[in-house]
A = this chain, B = another copy of it.
Amino acid sequence: MGVEFLKIKEVDEAKEIINEKFNEYYTPQPEVIDISDSNNRITFSKIESKIDFPPFNRSLKDGFAIKAEDSYGVNEENPKKLKVIDFLEAGSFSDKTVELGKSVEISTGAPIPDGADAVVMVEFSNRAEENSELEEDEIEILTSVTPSQDIGQKGSDVKKGQVILDENILLNPPKIGVIAAQGINTVNVYKKPKVGIISTGNELLTNQEELKPGKIYDVNSEMIKAGVNNCGAEGRCLGIVKDIYDDLKTKIQESLKECDILLCSGGTSAGVGDNIRDILDELGEVYIHGITVQPGKPTILGVVDGKIVIGLPGNPVSAIVIFNVFVAPSIKKLAGFKEEEEQKTIKGTLARRIHSPIGRMQYQLVRVEDDTVYPIFKDSGAIFSLASAAGYTKVSKQTELLEEGEEVEVILFN
């Protein structure tokens, strides 16, 4: 009984240790997935084009493929009569060759036939029905065009072997379009780290159970799972365990087999039934036990079998704040997100003063309306405050008071 706290860690010190331990024990992993599943995933490696695009010289307009030479000096007063030797829709191709005096009627996207080097738009032509002097298989063109006009040259958009997307790119619909244009059907992306989640506490019920005297429903499993998923990882709820040393130890050992990172909540203080610290000491090594923050002081980081185990406070408000501040950034990084995508913040004016304990960084839950920031003051056990909390405001450990009217930054929950 009465586990000794390690020397309590300052916020920056704790963040550094967590970042270091993630770097020491994990490397981002790749995973090849179908393009259909690639939206909002992050490329792990560069993507190179497999083909020239367009893959052939193609018409950019509906009209007539001709030899440009045939059109020189042509205008509405001096039209030029051409024979139409074929008709090409997109998707088809012609084995005929365009010579002087000849043309192939062509649709947008169809391949330019051999011999032709320009396209005259249909708007600048007449057919037999528009000019009775023309035969059925004749047209007249009414404008001059230059070589290459209205032709999308093979490879003009992308050359085969060219990098079309870099690594570390968040895929969105247009970028998926660029990949699809290459006929590429799989993408190498950052693999989602598997993060196991355990709630500990004799008082906890699953949402399949009836409420019983002295018991409460488990909040942290579903809440932290959602938080983990928002980091681009895959959260797995592994259940509730009682605060019984051997049960919890066995559960931690088993859980580590099926996840990369393990998040426990509850049982992190130094009180009766708070076993996480002792178990991690027995199974591996503990690097953090206690951070100078409010709420969430009794936070633990240990390493067991080369995997990080984090002990979050059991109190749900503390758990989600500590998760966001200390754990989420490292998970996001492992999942391939860049630092600047880590935290969304807004600025606003404080509606009421906030008192804060000297010597601890305080994370104060706040509600935001327009640009006004309302601190939510509640008992430490209150959960309902999370319904209206937009996020939290930091009050540094040297600050005892933030005054009404001060501009503060709010770190938003995602």
Contacts and interface: CB of A to CB of B under 8 A. Distances in A.
A269 B90 CA distance: 13
B157 A204 contact: no
Given A216-B109, A223-B180, A386 B152 contact: no
A226 B41 CA distance: 11
A51 B211 contact: yes
Interface stretch (A68-76, A169-177, A282-290, A402-410): A169-177
Contacts of A379: 60, 152, 156-157
Given A181-B316, A183-B211, A225-B36, A89 B202 contact: yes
A256 interface: no
Chain multiplicity (copies) = 2
A407 B207 CA distance: 53
Contacts of A316: 177, 181
A204 B173 contact: no
With most chain B CB atoms within 10 A of its CB, the pick from A164, A179, A216, A320 is A216
Which of under 10, 10 to 19, 20 to 34, or 35 or more describes the interface residues of A?
A: 35 or more
Interface string A271-307: 1110000000000000000000000000000000000
A213 B174 contact: no
Interface string A10-40: 0000000000000000000000000110111
A218 interface: yes
A175 B54 contact: no
Interface of A: 35-36, 38-40, 51, 53-56, 58, 60, 62, 89-93, 107-111, 152, 156-158, 164-165, 171-185, 201-205, 207-209, 211, 213-227, 229-230, 237, 242-243, 269, 271-273, 314, 316, 320, 378-384, 386-387, 389, 413-414
